[in-house]
Amino acid sequence: MASEDVKDSPAMVVFDTEAANSLVKELRSTVIAGKTKSYEWRVSQLKSLLKMVEDRDKQICDALFSDLSKPEMEAFIHEIAMIKASCKLALKKLKDWMKPEKVKTTLGTFPSSAEIVPEPLGVILIISAWNYPFLLSVDPVIGAIAAGNAVVLKPSEVAPAMSSLLAKLFGEYLDNSAIKVVEGAVPETSALLEQKWDKIFYTGNGRVGRVIMAAAAKHLTPVVLELGGKSPVLVDSDIDLTVTARRIVSGKWGCNNGQACVAPDYIITTKNYAPVLIDSIKHQLVKFFGEDALNSLDLSRVVNSNHFARLTKLLDDDRVSEKIIHGGQTDINNLKIAPTIVLDAPEDSLIMNEEIFGPLLPIVTVDKIEDGIHFINSRPNPLAAYLFTNKKQLKEEFVSNVSAGGVLINDISLHLMVDTLPFGGVGDSGIGAYHGKFSFDAFSHKKGVLHRSFYGDASARYPPYTPGKLRLLKALLDGSILGIIRALFGWS
């Protein structure tokens, strides 16, 4: 835009600290008024959200294609269908989730009853990621609404088409006195992070996660950090080779072309089995995406030129490039990188130490399959860890000894679709979890409530204190019926 055009254009609305503060105050007044707390409000917003997805699924697919060249099949299965399922589950289970949970009391509080009451935290900030920009924006919003909170969603500016669409659709379908979208980049996010929130939910990388956590600490704000890491795949020789190769290829390149937090980051297998596994993976790659994968319509592109440069830099190391055994072709004009396999890259190379988040897949070989578990444990905790084997003992050893956000045996990524399992990281891969009821819990405070009547008021708890009262209180705390009787009657 020319400078003279700027002068004639309307003044742009600047979202700064003052605007962020005003926004939070508005939402907090809505919460204080109790509007978001009712079951009826929560249900109405969840129904509106579901209607939004059903009405505008084509626009959602179009935005995903604009941002990532995401195939319609992937857009539907991995984003739209999962959001619809999440909405429907929340609508079906919300009454049960909201019910107080009755719990036992102790003899020392007799007569009494107790319950755990879930209550909304208040005003929530959700900062989402670009790789699944619809799913990762809307899914935590579902949990926050179900729990009765007001919400600000900050979509990723790296997926601008989806960011713009979410701002438009949320404005049309949802209650804007309690649910808002703030678009923008670092300045807008920084302004939001200066505010006092009741919880911050962030999906992204560890570097930004540390910034989020530091900002939250100033206000003692709890956080959920959905990060990532180098998710390993340990492949034994005792497997169905064809099914294993298909599932690895689909989980790596068929999910946003590797741009997924739970995508396989590297494979570990034995030196003896590696050639067989590699041949099968190559075969499936050609079967899925053709001889010229750069022109496949079933592969998403790299999201932008910055990420393209980051990924090609991983291959620039001569020690890595000479280890490429499949792929390696790039198309900077279309931001495409062919599915690439690297065999035994040096352990100190960037590709073996940074989260790849793209279509590159290193394969590490070991002498014994059990050595793979040691290799995984020598590195930071991954978000997901995968094992392909038919051996019961190896499965048990893997589950017992590998610390990861989640573990999946004999497949890739499907654990995300099981709403009875928590999804989240551990250590460097994140803090907290969500999905299904875990989303409701993530945005709720579990308030402990003890009920007592005016009956059964024991004088032993009040001064003046005597040895007899002390014996009675000790017996009560110990739960000793005989001790209580002795104390009451003064027996020794």
Catalytic residues: 226, 261
Across the chain, how many H-helices and E-strands are there?
A: 19, 20
Distances (CA, A) of 234 to 250, 285, 366, 370, 389: 16, 19, 10, 9, 9
Using DSSP's 3-state secondary structure scheme, residue 360 falls into: strand
The CA distance from 283 to 246, in Å, is: 9
Contacts for 31-35 with beta carbons within 8 Å, 24 or more apart?
A: 31/120, 31/122, 31/123, 31/149, 31/150, 31/178, 35/175, 35/177, 35/178
The residues pairing with 356 across neighbouring beta strands, listed in sequence order, are none
The two tokens of residue 488 are: 């009451």
Distances (CA, A) of 182 to 130, 163, 207, 384: 15, 9, 22, 31
The CA distance from 450 to 252, in Å, is: 50
The CA distance from 389 to 395, in Å, is: 7
The CA distance from 71 to 211, in Å, is: 33
Backbone dihedral angles phi then psi of residue 384, each to the nearest 5 degrees:
-140, 150
Distances (CA, A) of 399 to 40, 381, 470: 42, 13, 49
The residue ranges of DSSP E strands in 278-383, in sequence order, are 324-326, 330-331, 336-337, 340-343, 360-366
- Which helix (H) or strand (E) is 106 found in, with range? none
The two tokens of residue 430 are: 């994140």
The two tokens of residue 12 are: 């742009």
The CA distance from 400 to 47, in Å, is: 41
CB 56 within 8 A of CB 230: no
Find where tokens 């289970």 sit: 93
